[in-house]
Amino acid sequence: MTLLRTQNLSAFYGDFQALFGINVTVEQGETVAIIGANGAGKTTFLRAVAGAIESAPEMVVFDGQPIGDRTPHEIVRLGIAMVPEGRRLFPSLSVEENLLLGTHSERTGPWNLKRIYELFPRLYDLRHLPAPSLSGGQQQMAAVGRSLMSNPRLLLCDELSLGLAPVVIRDIYQCLGAITAEGATVVLVEQDINRALDASARFYCFQEGHLALTAPVKGFDRAAITAAYFGV
d(CA 21, CA 10): 5
Burial bucket for residue 62 (CB in 10 Å: 0-12, 13-18, 19+):
buried
Residue 71 in the binding site for another protein (CB under 8 A): yes
Cβ pair 200, 31 in contact under 8 A: yes
Among 6, 31, 55, 147, binds another protein (CB under 8 A): 147
Burial pattern 87-96, b for ≥16 Cβ within 10 A else e, equals bebeeebbbb
Q: How far is CA 6 from the centre of its chain?
A: 15
Residue 52 in the binding site for another protein (CB under 8 A): yes
Candidates 12-20, 102-110, 133-141, 212-220: pick the segment binding another protein (CB under 8 A).
102-110
Strands of 2-13's sheet, edge to edge? 16-27, 2-13, 60-62, 65-66
Residue 76 in the binding site for another protein (CB under 8 A): yes
Residue 109 backbone dihedrals phi, psi, to 5 degrees: 165, -160
d(CA 171, CA 59): 35
Among 29, 72, 109, 136, binds another protein (CB under 8 A): 72
Residue 105 in the binding site for another protein (CB under 8 A): yes
Candidates 57-65, 100-108, 172-180, 199-207: pick the segment binding another protein (CB under 8 A).
100-108
Residue 205 in the binding site for another protein (CB under 8 A): no
d(CA 156, CA 133): 25
Residue 150 in the binding site for another protein (CB under 8 A): yes
Residue 108 in the binding site for another protein (CB under 8 A): no
Residue 146 in the binding site for another protein (CB under 8 A): yes
Residue 127 in the binding site for another protein (CB under 8 A): no
How many binding residues for another protein (CB under 8 A)?
26
d(CA 13, CA 20): 12
Judged by beta carbon, residue 155 or residue 193, the one nearer another protein is 155
Q: Which residues bind another protein (CB under 8 A)?
A: 50, 52, 71-73, 76-77, 81-82, 84, 88, 90-93, 97, 100-102, 104-106, 130, 146-147, 150
